[in-house]
Amino acid sequence: MAESSTFPFEVYPIEDVHLKMQNRQFGIQAPVGEVDGYYELFEEYEFGGNGPSWAEHIRFILEEKDEELDEHLEYDEEGDTFLVYADSQVAVDRFLKHVLPIFGTKKSLKKYLKQADPDNFSE
């Protein structure tokens, strides 16, 4: 998958320092504070817009679309960074398949956030 098609996420293989952690074969990361206009969009609809907020929304999306994928992901988000580890390329592809149609553009993210109920999220 071409890197530009993963926006706003960067996907990268994990270096050997994590090889003993088999669930950390790939990282999927987004510098949420640096993605132009995304933080403000989250705030406009009364959501946090930080890394934990992205994780909460992405977990919600994946729970609806591919509930079993969660077994292949390990979230490690904080502050202005969203980070999730995947245990295989297949898990990365499934993640991107479900999340990119929503997070891939401001227009699609706005459509999603507009209908999301802030009462269902803590961030």
Dihedral sign for Cα atoms in the order 92, 97, 101, 44 = negative
Q: What is the pLDDT of residues 48-75, one digit of tens each?
A: 999 999 999 999 999 999 999 999 999 9
> Using CB atoms within 10 A of its CB, is residue 20 exposed (0-12), middle (13-18) or buried (19+)?
exposed
Q: Is 10 among the domain residues?
A: yes
Overall size of the chain counted in residues: 123
Q: What is the pLDDT of residues 11-22, one digit of tens each?
A: 999 876 555 666
Q: Is 93 among the domain residues?
A: yes
Residue 74 identity: E
Domain range holding 45?
A: 3-117
φ/ψ of residue 92, rounded to 5: -60, -50
Strand, coil or helix: 30: strand
- For the chain, what is the domain count? 1
**pTM value?**
0.90
